[in-house]
Structure 1
Amino acid sequence: MENPDLVSWNSMIVGYFENGDEKKALNLFVQLQKLCFPKPDEYTFAGIISATGSFSSFYWGRPLHAQVIKTGLERSVFVGSTLVSMYLKIKKLKAAQRVFYSIPGKDVVIWTEMITDASLKMFHEAYEIDDYVLSAVLSACADLAMLRQGEIIHCYVVKLGYDIEMSVSGSLIDMYAKTAPLKLHICRHGMAEEALKLFQEILEKGLVPNEVTFLSLLSACTHSRLVEQGKFIWNYMNIIGLVPGPKHYSCMVTLLSRAALLEEARRTYH
Structure 2
Amino acid sequence: MQKKGMTPNTLTFVPVLNACASLRALEKGRQVHEQIIQSGCEGNAFVGCSLVDMYAKCGSMEDAQRVFNKMPSRDVVTWTAMILGHGKHTQGQKALELISQMQQEGVKPDSVTFVGVVNACASLVALEECRCAHRQIIQSGWDLNVFAGSSLVDMYAKCGSMEDAQRVFNNMQSHDVVTWTTMILGHMKCGQGQRALELFQQMQQEGVQPDSYFCGGGECMCQLDCT
TM range, smaller chain: 0.5 to 0.7
> Where in structure 2 are the equivalents of 1:21-40 lying within 5 Å?
none
State the Cα distance separating 1:44 from its structure 2 match: 6.2
Match of 1:43 in 2: 30
Residues 35-71 of structure 1: CA distance to partner in whole angstroms, max 9, x if unpaired? Answer: xxxxx9742698xxxxxxxxxxxxxxxxx9x948825
The structural deviation recorded for 1:99 is: 4.4
- Residue 265 (1) aligns with residue 208 (2): no
Whose Rg is larger? 1
1:15 match? none
2:13: which partner in 1?
A: none
User: In structure 2, what is the Cα distance between the partners aligned to 1:229 and 1:69?
Assistant: 60
- Counterpart residue number, 1:197: 167
Secondary structure of the residue aligned to 1:228 is: helix
TM value normalised by structure 1: 0.53
Alpha-carbon distance in 2 for matches of 1:229, 1:41? 49
Distance 1:123 1:105 in 2: 9
For 2:194 and 2:92, locate their aligned partners in 1 and report how far apart those are by CA, in whole Å: 38
2: distance between equivalents of 1:224 and 1:85? Answer: 37
CA RMSD of aligned residues (A): 3.9
Identity over aligned residues, as a percent? 14
Matched position secondary structure for 2:109 = coil
Distance in 2 separating the partners of 1:70 and 1:241 = 55
Q: Is the 1:222–1:252 contact (alpha carbons within 8 Å) kept by the matching residues of 2?
A: no
Query: Partner residue of 1:109?
Result: 85
**Contact 2:134 / 2:152 at 8 angstroms: preserved in 1?**
yes
Conserved 8 A contact 1:141-1:175: yes
1:164 to 132, 138, 144: 144
1:153 and 2:140 matched: no
Change (3 A) 1:69 1:79: farther
CA–CA distance in 1 between the matches of 2:39 and 2:192? Answer: 53
Q: Which amino acid aligns with 1:119?
A: L
Whole-angstrom CA distance in 2 between matches of 1:102 and 1:168 = 16
Specify every segment of 5 or more residues in structure 2 that has no aligned partner in the other structure, as ranges: 1-26
Of structures 1 and 2, the one with the larger relative CO (CA 8 A, separation 6+) is: 2
Equivalent residue, structure 1, for 2:108: 128
How is 1:1-270 mapped onto 2 (pairs within 5 angstroms)? 42-43=29-30, 67=37, 70-72=40-42, 74=48, 75-76=50-51, 77-79=53-55, 81-82=61-62, 85-86=65-66, 98-99=73-74, 101=76, 103=78, 106=81, 108-110=84-86, 116=94, 118-125=97-104, 126-142=106-122, 144-148=123-127, 149-180=129-160, 191-202=161-172, 207-248=173-214, 250-254=219-223, 256=224, 264-265=225-226
Q: Is the 8 A contact 1:138 1:172 kept in 2?
A: yes
- Deviations along 1:231-262, whole A, 9 cap, x unmatched? 221111111111112443645443x4xxxxxx
Contact 1:84/1:96 (<8 A) preserved: no
Q: Aligned equivalents of 1:87 and 1:168: distance in 2?
A: 28
- The TM-score normalised by the length of structure 2 is 0.61
